[in-house]
Structure 1
Amino acid sequence: MKILVAEDDATSRWVLERVLKRWGHEIQTVETGTAATEALCAADGPQLAILDWLMPGATGPEVCKAVRAQAQTLGKPRYMILLTSKADKHDVVVGLDAGADDYITKPFDQEELRARVKVGLRVVELQNQLAERVAQLEESIAREKQLQGLLPICCYCKKIRDDGNYWHQVESYIVSHADVRFSHSVCPDCSERVRKEIATHAAEKASQARSKDK
């Protein structure tokens, strides 16, 4: 998964990039808060970010707030970790209230960073799975709703007309609009009718054969 590193200090940015790449992550780096906001708000932007608190253009908390304001339009979740030298509880609360998911203090410990990144990746993966399940559920509900209400059906051939004015066999229409499959059998009434038709047809064939013999 791609991780965004937003850090204006070149040395800190290089260290973070080197460490994260060593752990197997794809890294995108930016130097300003403005660039971080643009990257995270892009449709295909990174889902996990490590943001320095103090950056040109916008602070880390301001980036978090801007990204959260567009959460409904992003499609996929964003997990943001603030990297800061501010260890005061008030500052931590300010960062979390702005929309950050986690924080780590400078100078950071690599093992602590690894653990917090792993937590972020797990959360993002779970949120992605949840979003996929919700989308599947909404699609299923939408299909079921299409089977409610009045269905225009031909009184002769029993085909059903869809919203595009196309006619479909009952089976194909229901299969495409609901999570069902058909297994075909013969009901008792039809079985009796077909049996009589077969017997009548056989009798006619036998009668025709006798007529030819004469």
Structure 2
Amino acid sequence: HSAYIILLTAKERSQDIVAGLQAGADDYLTKPFDLEELRARMQAGLRISELQDSLAERVRELEDALSRVRILQGLLPICSYCKKIRDDSNYWQQIENYVTAHSGAQFSHSVCPQCYEEIVKPQLEELYPTGRKTRKDTRQENEDAR
């Protein structure tokens, strides 16, 4: 906990007050003092001290979170053809590996509708042309023949 220091003194000159505050006091009260005023200043000091402690804890939490955050920024040299990224060691690596290493993001692979139509579907049609029998068709014919 942080300490809240109230300087209680008989010195009441302006330069004494300034010297006391510069020495580390958070508040200054001169004698003779009013007990209610002292209590009020102590309660204010307690509130301030609790807020400072709370703020310090929040700063620690944010610094800890920030130390775990990794971000990508700046320009990434990427191959126009294979989409590999050149790292700081001049090594070309898959975009997924680079992004994962520099951000912690994970990838899940899929095929977008455009690539399915332009790439996957023609490959499937080449492997399984219309009218060509599949293993399933052949199996079914064999079972029917029995």
Q: What's the TM-score bracket when you normalise by the shorter of the two chains?
A: 0.5 to 0.7
CA distance 1:152–1:203, change in 2 (3 Å) = closer
Q: Which residue of 2 aligns with 1:72?
A: none
1:85 equivalent to 2:9? Answer yes
* Superposition map of 1:48-127 within 5 A: 48-50=2-4, 81-86=5-10, 88=12, 90=14, 91-96=16-21, 98=22, 100=24, 102-105=26-29, 109=38, 112-127=41-56
Residue by residue over 1:138-165, the C-alpha shift from the partner in whole angstroms, topping out at 9 and shown as x without a partner, is 986x7243xx124255954x43343356
After TM superposition, the score normalised by the length of structure 1 is: 0.40
CA distance in 2: counterparts of 1:178 and 1:186, whole angstroms: 23
More strand by share: 1
Gaps of 5+ in 2: 142-146
Q: Secondary structure at the match of 1:186?
A: coil
Q: Which residue of 1 aligns with 2:124?
A: 198
* Deviation for aligned residue 1:110: 5.8
Letter in 1 for 2:71: R
Q: Is the 8 A contact 2:84 2:93 kept in 1?
A: yes
Q: Secondary structure at the match of 2:75?
A: coil
Number of residues of Structure 1 aligned to a counterpart in Structure 2:
130
Quick check: which has more Rg, 1 or 2?
2
* Superposition map of 1:154-173 within 5 A: 155-156=81-82, 158-163=83-88, 168-173=93-98
